[in-house]
Amino acid sequence: MAQGWLEVFFTKVIRENLPFYQWMEIVTDWVIKVAFRIELVRQWMHANNELWSFMIDWYK
Amino acid sequence: MGLPTPEDPSVKKSNLVIIKERERLNKLLTNKPSYMYLIVTLSSLIRCMSVDLPQNYEPPANQPLTPYQIEDLGYQVSKDNLVLFMPDTSFIITLFEAARKSRSAVALSQVYVHYCFYSQSNAKKIFQVVCEGLEQYDYDKVRPFLILFQHMLESSVIPNSPLFS
């Protein structure tokens, strides 16, 4: 289930909020913190690079 | 927070202490009580209750049923109280939105993860709370929903979780 949640979170929730800069800053901070702390999130992000790499492009 | 220390009647109190104590008791009788720790207290109470286990599932012995269980005192949330505890998603969103302090948000997250740990439908409902909360509120009010999601992810990696992992 957690993998499904992460997919929805990155592909739906975050994508819909891309125009909101402060919202994106808060959520990006949270993503970095959680990825450091929870191995499952790290592994999921490593395996599904294409689903969240838009966040890196967003910061360019 | 701790249990109050029993008073020693042989120790003489100063007038200032007596006046302060009188004022405190007077406030308790007249003013509305402070609800600072209400959510934390409710969270602790519910985390001392049993949760429904899935059929044919035998939990590991000598281990708490969920990562946030404090103690199993053998009580369960009654149906009447369940209506208040697990209402419609929009009400739970309001509850999390009101939990501005980290302490309250953590307590709420722990109790909801504890209650939904073995229930797929309830877990979906809680994830809906996360998604809708993040979509509805602006950046300064989304923190409680991120705290809830973090607790869900943390508990999903626990090996004895039949649902989350």
Domain residue ranges in chain B: 38-156
What single-letter amino acid sits at B95? Answer: L
Query: How many domains does one find in chain A?
Result: 1
Q: How many CB atoms lie within 10 A of CB B79?
A: 7
Contact criterion met (CB < 8 Å) for B138 and A12: no
Q: Secondary structure of chain A in the HEC alphabet?
A: CHHHHHHHHHHHHHHHCCCCHHHHHHHHHHHHHHHHHCHHHHHHHHHCHHHHCHHHHHHC
Contact criterion met (CB < 8 Å) for B164 and A16: no
Nearest residue of A to residue B155, measured between CA atoms? A2
Of B125, B131, B93, B156, residue with least CA distance to A9:
B131
State the pTM of this model: 0.80
Q: What pLDDT shows up at residue A29?
A: 93
Contact criterion met (CB < 8 Å) for A23 and B142: yes
The distance in angstroms from the start CA to the end CA of chain B is 34
Contact criterion met (CB < 8 Å) for B127 and A23: no
Share of chain B above pLDDT 70, in %: 89
Contact criterion met (CB < 8 Å) for A9 and B149: yes
What is the ipTM for the molecules in this complex? 0.92
Handedness of CA B36, B104, B125, B54 (dihedral sign): negative
**Mean pLDDT across the stretch B69-95?**
84
pLDDT band at A4 (very low <50, low <70, confident <90, very high): confident
**Mean pLDDT across the stretch B84-89?**
82
CB-nearest partner of B153 from A8, A16, A34:
A34
Residues spanned by the domain of A38: 2-59
Handedness of CA B58, B72, B146, B126 (dihedral sign): positive
Nearest residue of A to residue B117, measured between CA atoms? A1
CA distances from A44 to B9, B65, B117 (A): 62, 26, 21
